[in-house]
Every structure is written in structure tokens, then in C-alpha cells.
Amino acid sequence: MSSADSTLASQPTKNDVESRVRSLIELLENSLTQNPETFSISTALPVQSYEPQLLDQAKQAVYRKVIERAWEDGQFTRDEQQTARWIAERLELPEGEFAAIELDLAKKQFAAALGRAMSDGSLDADDERRLQKISDTIGMPMATFAGVFFHAEGEKFLRSMFLEAVADNHLLTEEWGALLSTANKLGISHHEFLQAIRHQTREFVEHVIVDAKADGEISAHEEETMVWLLQQLEMPSDFCQYAVSEMARVQSRVQSTQALEVVTIPPQLRTRIWRKYNGRCAACSAGDYLEMVRIIPKSMGGGDDESNIQLLCRRCLGQTHA
């Protein structure tokens, strides 16, 4: 056998390493359970040499189990934290190592609690208290903890909240306030929040415009609401100009045969049509300058059924009437 083959043969396998680490974990846990007051690394292990790297793995695994057991009831109390730190000291774990373990498990608890809140569709007082208690265990405000480690999840949560709020094609000031408050609690800045829901807000404003066109008129209240929306959502200037011009067009449009066809579509049917085409032109998938029109005009016997109405952008609508 060559020297190289001999060296390879003497190297421990992965199973050997795992078995040694498990043995060390067992020795440490047994000693900690049987003699907690006098526990130390030197008294827990027999007088023989252990690879420092394997011992480090075992010590970290023991401490992780201690923290996992503490979190089993959904909280990591101050007394449990003090006990855990005492164990970390006896295990001779550096602060960076035991702090990393505590942070990792706190993140898992926070993710689970945030997931429950997301499934409910809102962040209520109980959710907030639970998330804050988890954050407290690592000495961070909830907003900082969420903003640093759960930014993407927070943005996803806010998008779902926004879609829920505008499901009836309206956005109340109370709903908007709740969204802003939730963003703040999750450590997401106002600008980041608006960027996160940018796509959804454009579709929402477009839906409001299409509804106004289908009504054939716009009230003073609707006009004020649109201005408020554009201000609150801080839409790009070109989009704001587009929205304002479209609303003005509704006010001044000539009551032509084409216009009359558009304005008589019932509200409930409009909602179904919008969802059917996902807010996109049926012909080219454009997402702006949209109108709802009958495939067969009413003057030719076309009815108010879903199969006879489609969503078209102005360009495609012009082509159908060319």
C-alpha cells in the first residue's frame, strides 16, 4: 500500500465523525443532567484527547437543544435566558457562538409567528406582542428585527394586505392607515412600502379609471378620491398625468354610440370582467387606457352577459372600430 493510500485509509469517514460528535453530546448532556451545579467540560469528559473541532460541534449542539427546549412553549423567558447563559458559560462557548444560536432559533420563532399573522391577513395586537417578545430575547426592537431579517416576508405581507383592502375596488383612509402602521411595525420605510406595492397600486388605479369610464360619469367625490389616491400612493408623474387626463376624458367625452355602449355595463358584471382578464387588454395584454366594451353591440342584440363583454385598450378598441 502506498503512503497516499495509507493516509486516505486512516482518515475518519463522515459516519465516524458524526458518531464521535454524538458520543460527545451524550457525555455532555448526561453530566449536565446529573451534576448541573458542578458541571464543566473537564468533569464531563473522560481523560482522553478529543479533536477541538468535534468538541466545538458537540458543545454547540448541546446549547442548541437547550434553547430549543426553552422555546417549546412559544417563549424564552428571562429566567430561561439566564439559565441558558449559565450553561453557555459552563460549556465554554464564546459569546459569538451562543449568540448566533439564539439568533437563529429566534428567527425561526419570528418566522412562524409572522406566518400565522400573514395567514390571518392582518397584524393584530396579539401578533404584535408575540413578535415583540421574540425580538426582545435578542435585544432588538420588533421593527429592527423584522426589517433586518424578514424584509422580503414583510413586503409580501403588505402586498397581500393591500390586495385585500382594495378587493371591493375601494381604499378607505382607515385601511390605508392600517397598512402604513403595519409597514412601520415591520421595519419597512414608507418609500420601501410604496415600492413594494407599486405594481398593485397601478392596477388598482387603472381599475378605478375603468369603472369610472363604465359609469360614464365621475362625481366630485370620486374625483377627490382619485386625487387623494395619487397623492398617497406617490405614483410617478407620468402615470399621474395619465390618470388625471383619463378622468377628465370621462367628464368631457362625447355621448357617441361607442360611448353609450361602454357606459351601460352593470357594476357586478364589471368586476367579473376585470378579474376574467386580470386587468389586461384581451387583445394585446396592455395594462392601461382600458375600456370595457361589448363584442356584439347592444343595438344589434348584444346582452349584458360575461361572454359578450371584453376588456380592451384604446389602441385595440380603435382597431375594432376602424
> In this structure, is residue 262 part of a structural domain?
yes
| Interatomic CA distance for residues 49 and 41, integer angstroms | 12
Helix (H, G, I), strand (E, B) or coil at 62: helix
Q: Is the pTM of this model over 0.85?
A: no
> In this structure, is residue 272 part of a structural domain?
yes
> In this structure, is residue 277 part of a structural domain?
yes
Helix (H, G, I), strand (E, B) or coil at 154: helix
> In this structure, is residue 70 part of a structural domain?
yes
The set of cell numbers assigned to 227 is: 386625487
Residues 247, 122, single domain; the answer is no
Looking at the DSSP bridge assignments, the partners of residue 290 are 313
Residues 133, 217, single domain; the answer is no
The set of cell numbers assigned to 83 is: 439559565
> In this structure, is residue 182 part of a structural domain?
no
Residues 26, 98, single domain; the answer is yes
Residues 27, 110, single domain; the answer is yes
Contacts of residue 226, defined as CB under 8 A and 6 or more positions apart, other chains included, come to: 205, 208, 209, 243, 244, 247
User: Which pLDDT tens digits describe the chain residue by residue (322 residues)?
Assistant: 455 444 444 566 878 888 889 999 999 999 999 988 888 888 888 766 678 899 999 999 999 999 999 999 989 999 999 999 999 999 999 999 999 999 999 999 999 999 998 888 888 999 999 999 999 999 999 999 999 999 999 999 999 999 998 888 788 889 999 999 999 999 999 999 999 999 999 888 888 888 887 776 677 777 788 888 888 888 888 888 888 888 888 777 644 444 444 446 777 888 888 888 888 999 999 888 888 888 887 777 777 788 888 898 888 887 765 5
Which of 146, 173, 189 corresponds to the end of one domain?
A: 146
> In this structure, is residue 154 part of a structural domain?
no
Domain that holds residue 315: 197-320
Residues 17, 142, single domain; the answer is yes
Count of structural domains, the chain: 2
